[in-house]
Amino acid sequence: MSLKKNIFTRRKVFNYLIGCVCAMSSKYSLAGQQAGSPFRDRFQTYRQTFRIEPDPEEARRIVRNIIKGREIRENLIFLKAPDIAENGNTVPISFGVNCSMEGQDYPRIVHILVLDNPFPEIAKFYFSPESGEASVDIRIRMRTSSNIIAIAEMQDGSVGETKAFVDVTIGACS
């Protein structure tokens, strides 16, 4: 009789505690997956089959997440883009980094972002001292006329940033 009345058995209490711990941990792990965090990359590589609208706030968050409050070094990276692009499907851009590619003085990653695209991240470039000069030409897509941002993360931790405004007459759907 006494066993039936006892609701809080040891097993039930343990199950309840484990459930609480799991719920708490999942809550914290989901809170870490804000937009602009590296988890967004996983979302991008996911086979996307729906239309999304551009979100400049999120683009700014991505830029903030790359820079992480570090001081921006001037004249480190320069970006060359046309003032007016007739076709948004192919906008030729090129960038270069002012550095001697020796020791720690080379860019680890260079990011290219277009702020008014629905997916602001366009490309990341990983360099090494063997690539004698960190300069790349590439062709990108732009939906509307907006700023292109290039951010260079050096191996020693310093950051450089530049902007260039491009006027697009016919936008691409990207």
Q: Which long-range contacts (CB under 8 A, 24 or more apart) does 156-159 make?
A: 156/104, 156/105, 157/70, 158/70, 158/71, 158/73, 158/76, 159/66, 159/67, 159/70, 159/71, 159/72, 159/73
Q: How far is the CB of 34 from other proteins (least distance, A)?
A: 19
Q: Which residues contact 116 (CB under 8 A, 6 or more apart)?
A: 54, 56, 59, 142, 143, 144, 145, 146, 147
Q: How far is the CB of 144 from other proteins (least distance, A)?
A: 13
Q: How far is the CB of 67 from other proteins (least distance, A)?
A: 19
> Of 140 and 159, which CB lies nearer to other proteins in the complex structure?
140
> Of 26 and 90, which CB lies nearer to other proteins in the complex structure?
90
Biggest CA-to-CA distance, the chain: 86
CA distance linking residue 90 with residue 141, whole number of Å: 6
Q: How far is the CB of 162 from other proteins (least distance, A)?
A: 18
Amino acid letter for position 146: S
> Of 19 and 56, which CB lies nearer to other proteins in the complex structure?
56
> Of 33 and 128, which CB lies nearer to other proteins in the complex structure?
128
- Distance from CA of residue 62 to its chain's centroid? 5
Q: How far is the CB of 142 from other proteins (least distance, A)?
A: 8
CA distance linking residue 81 with residue 39, whole number of Å: 30
> Of 7 and 170, which CB lies nearer to other proteins in the complex structure?
170
Point out which residues bind other proteins (CB under 8 A): 44-45, 47-52, 89-91, 101, 114, 117-128, 130-141, 172-174
